[in-house]
Amino acid sequence: MASILAEAAVKKLCEMAVQPVLNEVSIVWNFTEDFEWLKNQIEQTNYFLNEADEKSTRQKESVKTWLHRVRDVAWEAEDILQICAVDSMYATHTQLCRHLIPCYLWNQLITRYQMGKRIQKVKARMNSVIADGNQLNIRHTVVSHIEAAESSSSSQRQQFKRLSLLPSDSKPVGIQSKIDSMANLLENPQFPIIVVVGMGGMGKTYLLQHVYDAEKGRYEKSAWLSVSQFYSVSKLLSDLAFKLDENLSRRIKESGVSDEVAAEEIHSFIQGKRCLIVLDDVWRATREGDLLKKLGIPTGDTSQCQILVSTRNREVAVNLSAEIYHMEYLTDEESWSLFCAHAFPRSEENRAPGYLEKVARDIEKECGKLPLAIKTTAASLASTTLPRDWHFKLDKLKKVSTPSDPVLDILKLSYDTLPAHLKACFAYFSFFPEDEQIECQYLMYLWKGEGFIPAGEKPWDCLEQLANLCLVELWEDEYLDKYCKIHDLLLDLIILICRENKCAFSVEDAFPKLKSENTDGGRWCRLFLAKKDIDEHAISKMQPGSPMLVRTLSLSSNSVIGGYIPAMLFSGMRVLRVLDLSHTNISTLPACVGKMKLLKVLNLRYTKIRKIPECVRRLKSLSYLDVYKCEFNQAPEWISELRCLQHLKGSFERMPKGISKLEYLETLQTPSLSLSMEEDGVLRLEDVGKMSELEEIAFNVEDESQLNGMDEGILEPLVKMHRLKVNNAIHGMQDDFFHPRFPERMSVMRDLEHLRLWKFAVPSWICCLTNLRYLFLLSCHCSNYPELQALPNLVSLRLIVNNNCRELPKAFGKSGGFPNLRFLRITDFPELEEFPEMEDGAMASLEKLTLSDCSNLNKVGEGLEQLKRVKEINIQSSGTNELRERLREDGRFWKKIKAINPYLNINLFL
């Protein structure tokens, strides 16, 4: 198989605006001819990679060896081009400083000599690769490749255009009988521990998710824990305590007790309560018998805990003395229903057209009744109804080459049909540990930093394409922050693929083999060492002379790393693009990090660093810097020298004025900035107004002059703003009876998707923000709420703290209102007496309703049965005793709602 990460990098390079770079470099070094030669040869190398992909699947060792050479020479050529582009930027800038001209000329001469030697070397290697490719009959004519590429590109655009995901349905497809069987087991007191056993891809987690959602309302407490292959007892204890009770979690965290004491506190809290606890994806059998004890989960005759476990290993169940539930293959009917649901999501009742039914059934049979294989294969066909495409897929399935692992082979077919850039994006999920909930925003920054995203395409579109093909699970929380993850079986697949392409996943992988692997001119390209309990001593054992020319290094979440990392680790990493040291205990960075000219992503969040290291000042290519939750709240004055910076995250309280000079800055993510009112070098409101590319900011309004400035349109240039948080901190304007109106001139921000306001009178023009998806109104009077129900794309509404509101607007419950609202939370409304009656068609998309700290609430439930998509209603510290009785199980409202929506969970937290 072709080197996917290299192929995407080469393809990206061909799509770069190379000519402007060549022009600038030629001014400084006059290397135009050499660079043009490199560009042309890289384009042809890209054709080699495309052609060789099919040949390598037929296991020609000669082709695979050739591909390793292609990858290495392509990377080296790309490194040369990009380093020269960065150096030319430095040199041109220096040239403008007339008093430095002699120094500039000398440096130019040295750089030209060194780069000339590298170009000659890579040209020789490139010529050798091309000659060998011709001997293997891999290379076709450039013209035929261009025609094929254009035709393929058109086909791919049609195939991978945005698809609609399956609508969320409370009734699962294909496993209802299994859910019923599990529910019967849960009702039997003889089975306090039930272990679901099955191979990867059988749907163990999918089954437990539906059982857990359907049954947790019958228990006093419930918790879901993802254990995975590599887990931390401390992390599991923390997660368990938080999911059981926030006060318990806070008490354990603040006391800083040992794991043993934390387990005892959890045990005392659970003892005597009816609890449902899920341990998902337990791997090892040798120690899992004590895992319940380590987590403080009571077992035995006195326990009222019901424990569900999923595992690939039958010995785990034996070790737990548990009832075993074997995941069986789907029945013929279940398999066909699941296939149709994903292959024909838009057809009536998910039926196959008559002319496709025979080939569709043949394809479904080739999937072996494996849920994951069925879903991914069916989804890959959902965008086409051409019989030839379906027969082509059937032919491919019949040629699966490794019967010993049919699931991986079937999944690999969906992977093989991806375009090169999506293969690279998907393979990059190996960057993250197993069962990681990945922030989509960070993932997309990594893709951009690595150069995987083609010109004219958006990272989010790439992620949606992978999700639509069921290769990635994608969701968003109540705050509409987006997350994703992949199935552990798919992670196995991409790790296997990445290992073939010299990506290392452990110290043992990387360092001992590094020297031998590089004897033939190869090199490791990426080191993914997150959550491996690696410390600085393990790193220091590596050979100091190892040529560590890697592009990505992740040491994230290695909590045993001390205050420093040996400089020798970074000394050879001159072409690194991504460096992730987040969630470690490092307090300093070696100065040699400043020599990484191509570094684009630097993640230092949750480290012990006390200030942004001085070496970061030299990273002129840096586009993403995350120092959130480090031990400082001030940014250095020189931050404005990072000319390419696009995304800056930190716990900053103030920012230097110079930050406004960063013309590409899109994200300034902080809890909330205090803006200066003086000419003191600190960021002012006037400076923010100059940052026309800004898409996200949070700030406090601390003076009436700032409010007047907003009213006069000082922030009108920020028309690209997507996420805005503004706090009213003006002395004298925080009274519960007087809030200033939010300025009218802010209405120019038509692209706003997230808006959070504190202590403002909400203006009527807010209803014109048709792109608004998230609205958080804190301490805003009910009388000031405009007709929010008219917002067409609002997904999450949070109304927090209102001491005077007795009833919400009646219009909230009108038919057709809030058409896309999925999350509604009303918190700390002590005078609220009534929740609006719901008409048929009101809040048609609502999934979760939370009423918290509304102590006088006495009327709720009228019309709630009309909310047919609601999955969860939470009443927390709210309601009169009479209301609580009606909402309890067997209460009048409870029965009425359950009769229409049996899958709804009503949770009362007193």
Q: What is the pLDDT of residues 251-267, one digit of tens each?
A: 888 888 888 999 999 99
Look at the block and give the residue holding tokens 């608004």: 772
404 pLDDT higher than 60: no
The mean per-residue pLDDT over the stretch 734-741 comes to 73
Q: Give the H or E element holding residue 409.
A: helix 406-416
Residue 35 and residue 84: Cα distance in Å, rounded?
10
The mean per-residue pLDDT over the stretch 82-102 comes to 55
pLDDT 10s digits, 60-71: 566 666 666 776
Residue 237 and residue 261: Cα distance in Å, rounded?
11
Longest dimension (CA), the chain: 89
Which of 139-143, 398-402, 557-561 tops mean pLDDT?
A: 557-561
β 872-876/905-909 pair status: parallel
Which of 225-234, 364-373, 656-665 tops mean pLDDT?
A: 656-665
- Token code pair at residue 285: 């059998």
The pTM of this model reads 0.78
As beta bridge partners, residue 225 has 279
The pLDDT value given to residue 414: 78
Number of helices and strands (H, E) in the chain? 29, 26
CA 678 to chain centre: 40
Distance (Å) of CA 218 to CA 158, 186, 195, 712, 906: 47, 11, 20, 56, 9
591 pLDDT higher than 80: yes
Residue 811 burial (CB count, 10 A)? 15
pLDDT 10s digits, 638-675: 999 999 999 999 999 999 999 999 999 999 999 999 99
- Token code pair at residue 883: 């209301």
Residue 696 and residue 752: Cα distance in Å, rounded?
9
SS (H, E, C) 120-182: HHHHHHHHHHHHHHHHCCCCCCHHHHHHHHHHHHHHHHHHCCCCCCCCCCCCCCCCHHHHHHH
Residue 216 burial (CB count, 10 A)? 18
Residue 545 burial (CB count, 10 A)? 10
**Residues of the chain with pLDDT > 90: what percent?**
33
The pLDDT value given to residue 165: 32
The pLDDT value given to residue 154: 37
pLDDT 10s digits, 836-869: 888 888 999 999 999 999 988 888 766 777 787 8
The mean per-residue pLDDT over the stretch 596-600 comes to 91
The mean per-residue pLDDT over the stretch 392-416 comes to 73
List for the chain the helix, strand, coil content (%; round to 5): 45, 15, 40
Q: Which amino acid is at 895?
A: K
The pLDDT value given to residue 639: 94
Which pairs count as long-range contacts for 321-326, CB under 8 Å and 24+ apart, including other chains? 321/193, 322/191, 322/193, 322/194, 322/195, 323/185, 323/190, 323/191, 323/193, 323/194, 323/195, 324/194, 324/195, 324/197, 325/181, 325/182, 325/185, 325/194, 325/195, 325/196, 325/197, 326/197, 326/198
Q: Note whether 191 and 185 are within 8 A (CB).
A: yes
Listed range (16-30, 107-121, 371-385) with the worst mean pLDDT: 16-30
Q: Note whether 645 and 662 are within 8 A (CB).
A: yes
Listed range (106-110, 126-130, 188-192, 677-681) with the worst mean pLDDT: 106-110
| Among the listed residues 515, 497, 500, 550, the one whose alpha carbon sits nearest the alpha carbon of residue 65 | 500
Distance (Å) of CA 585 to CA 323, 581, 774: 42, 9, 35
The pLDDT value given to residue 329: 85
- Token code pair at residue 878: 């709210």
Q: Give the H or E element holding residue 388.
A: helix 387-398
754 pLDDT higher than 90: yes
346 or 17, which is more confident:
346
Q: Please list, in sequence order, all residues whose beta carbon lies within 8 angstroms of the beta carbon of residue 268, skipping any fewer than 6 positions away.
A: none
Residue 533 and residue 556: Cα distance in Å, rounded?
10
The pLDDT value given to residue 36: 62
Residue 864 and residue 870: Cα distance in Å, rounded?
9
- Classified as helix, coil or strand, 689 is coil
Q: Note whether 630 and 609 are within 8 A (CB).
A: yes
Residue 753 burial (CB count, 10 A)? 19
- Classified as helix, coil or strand, 868 is coil
Residue 329 and residue 373: Cα distance in Å, rounded?
12
Q: How many CA atoms lie within 13 A of 648 on its CB side?
A: 26
pLDDT 10s digits, 421-465: 898 899 889 888 877 889 999 999 999 988 889 888 899 999 988
Residue 39 burial (CB count, 10 A)? 18
The pLDDT value given to residue 60: 53
pLDDT 10s digits, 2-12: 355 555 544 55
Residue 586 and residue 631: Cα distance in Å, rounded?
11
315 pLDDT higher than 90: no
Q: Note whether 283 and 229 are within 8 A (CB).
A: yes
The pLDDT value given to residue 153: 35
Residue 646 and residue 893: Cα distance in Å, rounded?
52
- Classify residue 124 as exposed, middle or buried by CB count within 10 Å of its CB (0-12, 13-18, 19+): exposed
* Sign of CA pseudo-dihedral 399, 405, 406, 407: negative
The pLDDT value given to residue 871: 83
The mean per-residue pLDDT over the stretch 379-397 comes to 89
**Residues of the chain with pLDDT > 70: what percent?**
76
Rg (CA), the chain: 30
The pLDDT value given to residue 442: 94
CA 324 to chain centre: 34
Q: Which amino acid is at 312?
A: R
Mean residue pLDDT of the chain comes to 79
pLDDT 10s digits, 69-84: 776 676 677 777 677 6
- Token code pair at residue 853: 């700290």
